[in-house]
Amino acid sequence: MMYKVLIVDDEPMIREGLRTIVDWETEGFEIVDTASNGKEGLEKFGQIEPDLTIVDIRMPGMTGLDLIERVRKDNSSAHFLILSGYAEFDYAKRAIVSGVSGYLLKPVDEEELLDELRRVRELLQREQEARSARIEQESALPKAQIVEELLFEDEPLGEEQRAKLAGALGLSAPAYRIALLDAHGGIETESRQHAVFRQRLKESFEERGGDVLFSAGSHIGLLLVRRSHVEGGETLRSQLAEAAGDLEFHAACGPTVERLTDIASSFREAEQLLHARFFFESGSLIDRAAYEERFAAGDARGTDDEAEDGPQLGDKLYYALDIRSRDAVDKVLAELERTAVSRRMDEGAVRGEYSRTLSLALGKLSSSASSAAELAQNYHSLLLSDVNQAQSYGMLKRQVGDRLGELIDRFGGANKDTVLKQMIDFIRRNYSENLKLEVLAEMFGYNSGYLGKLFKNYTGEYFNAFVDKVRVDKAKELLGQGLKVHQVAARVGYSNADYFHSKFRKYVGTSPSAYRNEMHGEQQSGEQ
């Protein structure tokens, strides 16, 4: 066979000269391409996968040694001959460390090049013989080990090598696919349960069905040998469930392929799909169709991101808990789920999003002056434990929902006053927040326009005017304590001091600073 050669040199005369200096074919080599710089050489190396690369050590941009070091990250067995018009020792040292096969000075001497080519050819022949011997030995290996060789070989296998390994399996079918299983049980019995599970899989799939059971890191792998491209997923899921018994598991299936040499692509997709197992209940079989169906609703709806000045989910959950409304809590949790699904979050991101939302809501409750503060603080740690320990998203959602419902019951449940009385109490407790009628209407389950009319009839004030009056009353109290105007404005919920000034004058008839001075004057005269 002819060994492929790639020449990388920034001098055209050198590239062309090397083509003619020796009879390459006689020596068992064929120059398949050349490159004029290191970057181009790296690209062509990936395309050609040459047996030998002859590369100039000094080139503008990416040097020859840079190219070699980049290749070495993915290919430890590639062979290189270094060309250089410079004999610096430090370059030679780097070349030796990089594992080059030879080092030649320009102008290249014909005899020296021939000597190096013959030496490299012997190395390549020995490596080829060793690979062939290994593949022959592997033909006698257990089928599981051959599948693992096909999927997890440290060094990339050529098409011919993959074909030999596939042939060693002795399988012949129109379709193949990979299934990966993640199983988990109780800590004390998990090892025994796993052993029983593997034995049942071996009996059901390998001994009866001709499939191949293998190991894939912490997962169990199955090479499924199929008589047809069409396979009933429910049948496979039932077989797996029967083998699992009481052991909880998730399974993911890659697409079918026609050739055994292509099973790595099926394995890669199965591996990707298994990463989404947190969103599926125990016992699920995840294929591409199931994955897309699970996330389709979120994709269609979009992320529904809140406007920048709107309340975040943590604030909404705080409102829902503060008004003791289970329905409002359920709405926030549903919105949290839509966010997780639409963004296709992985397990860690989902747990993080839930933890942040709960921490913000429970943190605000814990710091409030209400009687619920201590109870909220205790439930904070319980909820975070639920989030971190849940085995699936469904379990997480149920546990968090149940825990928050329990918390509302401990608060005393929804009080028996009217919705309007609850709204008024809520405003008086949270006047410093960015309160909006639309948000409260959503929390209480009303149309905002209708709730606004009810509120006006009940209080005699429009919602925004009522909020302003509550804030101004609190501002009068704080000004009487001697706080500065800008401090009071921020404390009662006005980020703009001028806007606060106009609202205060509207309802009190004087400016905040004048009111503050008047109150202090009265206090001083009362003290005399």
Condensed to tens digits (0 to 9), the pLDDT of residues 392-405 reads 888 899 999 999 98
Cα separation, 303 vs 315, whole angstroms = 18
**Residue 241 in this model has a pLDDT that exceeds 70:** yes
In the predicted model, what is the mean pLDDT of residues 234-252? Answer: 88
What is the signed CA dihedral for 347, 348, 352, 358, rounded to 10 degrees? 40
Class of domain 452-527: mainly alpha
What residue type is assigned to position 244 of the chain? Answer: A
Using CA atoms, how far apart are residues 135 and 149, in angstroms rounded to an integer?
10
Q: How confident is the model at residue 39 (pLDDT cuts 50, 70, 90)?
A: very high
Instruction: Give the least confident one: 230-239, 297-306, 511-520.
Output: 297-306
pLDDT of residue 424: 86
Tell me if residue 111 falls in helix, strand or coil. Answer: helix
Each residue's pLDDT tens digit, 426-483: 888 888 888 888 888 877 777 788 788 888 888 888 999 999 999 999 999 998 888 8
Vertex 321: Cα angle to 315 and 325 (nearest 5): 120
Task: Let me know: does 266 contact 257? Beta carbons within 8 Å.
Answer: yes
Backbone CA torsion sign across 335, 341, 344, 347? positive
pLDDT of residue 402: 93
Element (DSSP H or E) covering residue 427: helix 419-429
* Percent of the chain topping pLDDT 70: 86
Query: Cβ of 471: how many Cβ atoms within 10 Å?
Result: 24
The whole-angstrom separation of Cα 161 and Cα 139 is: 12
Alpha-carbon distance 262 to 266, whole Å?
7
- For residue 90, pLDDT over 70 is answered with no
Say how far apart CA 449 and CA 162 lie, in whole Å.
69
Residue ranges of domains in the chain? 3-131, 143-293, 313-414, 452-527
What pLDDT is attached to residue 253? 93
CA distances from residue 111 to 104, 114, 134 in whole angstroms, order as listed: 11, 5, 35
**Do the domains 3-131 and 452-527 sit in the same CATH topology, yes or no?**
no
Using the predicted structure, report yes or no on whether residue 8 has a pLDDT greater than 90. yes
Q: Where are the alpha helices (DSSP H) in 252-392?
A: 263-274, 288-301, 313-322, 326-342, 347-367, 373-389
**Whole-number Å distance between alpha carbons of 224 and 178:** 6
Q: Which CATH number fits domain 143-293: 2.40.30.10, 3.40.50.300, 3.30.70.270, 3.90.180.10?
A: 3.30.70.270
Residue 416 is predicted with a pLDDT of 37
- Looking at residue 377, its pLDDT comes to 85
The mean pLDDT value for 277-298 works out to 85
pLDDT above 50 for 310 = no
> Looking at the predicted structure, is the pLDDT value of residue 25 above 60?
yes
Q: What is the pLDDT of residue 92?
A: 58
Contact by Cβ (8 Å): 248, 183? yes
DSSP 447: -
Quickly state the pLDDT bin for 75 (edges 50, 70, 90). confident
pLDDT given for residue 189 in this prediction: 45
CATH number of 3-131: 3.40.50.2300
Find the DSSP H helices in 1-142: 12-21, 38-48, 64-72, 89-97, 110-138
Match 């289970």 to its residue by tokens: 326
Closest-CA residue to 178 (of 138, 151, 142, 203): 151
pLDDT of residue 267 exceeding 90: yes
The mean pLDDT of 92-111, rounded to a whole number, is: 74
